[in-house]
Chains A and B, each alone.
Chain A
């Protein structure tokens, strides 16, 4: 199989990740509860992962909170920063993980910047929205549908200059871009553990620059007498038992990303996406590609995208079609009615896969199929 759905999850995981998970299953009990050897082993495993993440993302160890996934982290962050009915600005390429929690809170949303791959437009519209007055900003770093890399450093600077709190969704950029909580000055940065960070599904990280409101209350193994959640991190957000085997696997993934270098991984994925875009155009596909594009490219084959993805799957090419849980992004790109087929490259993708991809696209679409 040629797997080009790394935007959904990285697959297969590096062997070291599976080994770390198995090791944790064998040796780790519940961390932060007992004082015995197996509990200590679990605690060390969790702490190691936290330290690795703190190092990679330039923040304090306690600012790293383990979540179930990026969506979980975004819900915590939005619940903290956005009061019901608040005015919020988002980009034109957000995922439902951002828009649905905002909708639930009846936020008054301004969508700023709907032109793909156009930094000038994104920044102009974003600045206009900030200047009209908003209470918070939430924006993605990289569009999960189109791979558009937004100018987050400048967007962050605009927010900081106006003292507008902001959240960055790094679902598609963690592990492939250099990210610093400190330099960006974000209030929260959410990311999954299982995409670019190569960890198991069921893991995520929320980097916290301010004290968040907990979504979940319960035992933390600390300050147990108090009936309020601790007012310090990470305990405030880690009620209940954390996913120790998942975190062990995530630590192995983080080590690998650190060794390879996120920017190196990102550069390779970007080049593959560019090459794929060129090839798809030559095959007569409608391709969404441009400057500021990460390792993801969407296209329309001129036939139903889901049937198109099925045709590719029959040829052992794994992609994702449809709306990608991002109707806002599709609205912006005028692809809401049809959806797109998305290719998303990963750390172990390479150019040899493009040869078979081309053959499959040609067979599936250029010969009048499906």
Chain B
């Protein structure tokens, strides 16, 4: 199980994503997007522990939940952009 950060343009989309992932049994919560990640200013992200991030992102796309970017978080919290 790895930790991921998925970023969104609005809190409403982040909330929809959280709801969708929770419904799949994914442990996740909403947090503010780190400032350096969000070039457009302010945003919200979902931090999630997932076995299969591609499945998780595909689920979001299927439900029309548009995300901005996705990152894998290492043990010390350092993000690595996934480009998915």
Contacts and interface: CB of A to CB of B under 8 A. Distances in A.
Contacts of A225: 39-41
A155 interface: no
Contacts of B9: 222-223, 230, 232
A34 B11 CA distance: 11
Interface string B3-43: 00000011111011001000000000011100000011111
Contacts of B41: 222-226
Contacts of B16: 61
B3 to A, nearest CB: 17
Contact of A232 (B10, B32, B42, B43): B10
Contact of B42 (A31, A223, A234): A223
Contacts of A44: 15
A72 interface: no
B15 A47 contact: yes
A43 B40 contact: no
Interface string A64-93: 000000000000000000000000000000
Interface string A214-238: 0000001111111000101011000
B11 A221 contact: yes
Interface in A18-55: 31-32, 34-35, 40, 43-44, 47, 50-51
A62 interface: yes
A34 B30 contact: no
Given A34-B32, A40-B30, A43-B30, A234 B40 contact: no
A156 B41 CA distance: 40
Given A35-B31, A35-B32, A61-B16, A43 B11 contact: yes
A60 B66 CA distance: 13
Contacts of B42: 221-224
B67 to A, nearest CB: 13
Interface residues of A, number: 24
B43 A222 contact: yes
Interface residues of B, number: 18
B27 to A, nearest CB: 16
Contacts of A234: 10, 12
Contacts of A221: 11, 42
Contacts of B10: 32, 62, 220, 222, 230, 232, 234-235
A46 to B, nearest CB: 9
Contacts of A60: 64
Contacts of A43: 11, 15, 30
A32 B11 contact: yes
Interface string A233-269: 0110000000000000000000000000000000000
A62 B31 CA distance: 19
A277 B30 CA distance: 54
Given A221-B42, A223-B40, A224-B41, A50 B12 contact: yes
A223 B16 CA distance: 18
A47 B12 contact: yes
A301 B16 CA distance: 54
Nearest to A221: B42
B31 to A, nearest CB: 5
A214 to B, nearest CB: 15
27 contacts: A32-B10, A32-B11, A32-B44, A35-B30, A35-B32, A43-B15, A47-B12, A47-B15, A51-B19, A60-B64, A62-B10, A221-B11, A222-B10, A222-B41, A222-B42, A223-B9, A224-B41, A224-B42, A225-B40, A226-B40, A230-B9, A232-B9, A232-B10, A234-B10, A234-B12, A235-B10, A235-B12
